[in-house]
Chain A
Amino acid sequence: KAGVTQTPRYLIKTRGQQVTLSCSPISGHRSVSWYQQTPGQGLQFLFEYFSETQRNKGNFPGRFSGRQFSNSRSEMNVSTLELGDSALYLCASSSYRDSETQYFGPGTRLLVL
């Protein structure tokens, strides 16, 4: 099976802009989670989607949003970008039968200038 894919891999934006990141989970996986990784804060949970519904949400401002499509692909959007949003954004998928194992994509490295 193909692994989790994320696009784009690298992105440079300026403050105030918005960005949309995409994630395609492993075939058959219906749960998709998003994480932000920074040197200072580490790996932080953003949100989880399952069958097109947001199931859990982390402690991030409303500028961070996401959605999941019927084919389980997911997107996350960050509006009004701030310098502090510069990070590696990781997407992970898991199956219903093995929900404890998260399979991570390579991530999107976002730089906000």
Chain B
Amino acid sequence: GQSLEQPSEVTAVEGAIVQINCTYQTSGFYGLSWYQQHDGGAPTFLSYNGLDGLEETGRFSSFLSRSDSYGYLLLQELQMKDSASYFCAVKEGGKLQFGAGTQVVVTP
């Protein structure tokens, strides 16, 4: 089986940096994905880490350490539009399993 743990909520001000951690336990690991979901919207893909290290996409970066079963999503230069839920996900046995999500609240 698998489990993913991530914080339930993070609050930060505009312009700040937020790090969302995700730890996982899975019997087979192929990579860690991150998705963003705004209230009332559909999840949208942000990033995928198949190998250890940092992947950067604009203001968002994602990191993976397979030896520590740990990854994080880094949101830089926070904007109000970044207020959303962020999910980490792993694929196990072909099934994409999601964490419970971290709600990021950006305040002025």
Contact = CB atoms under 8 A, between A and B. Distances in A.
B43 A43 contact: yes
Nearest to B42: A104
Contact of A101 (B45, B94, B99): B45
Contacts of B70: none
Interface SS, A side: strand
Given A43-B98, A45-B96, A56-B94, A100 B31 contact: yes
Sort chain A's interface into a size bin.
20 to 34
Contacts, number: 45
Contacts of B45: 101-103
Interface of B: 31, 33, 35, 41-45, 48, 50, 87, 91, 93-101
Interface of A: 33, 35, 42-45, 48, 55-56, 58, 90, 92, 100-107
Given A43-B43, A43-B87, A102 B96 contact: yes
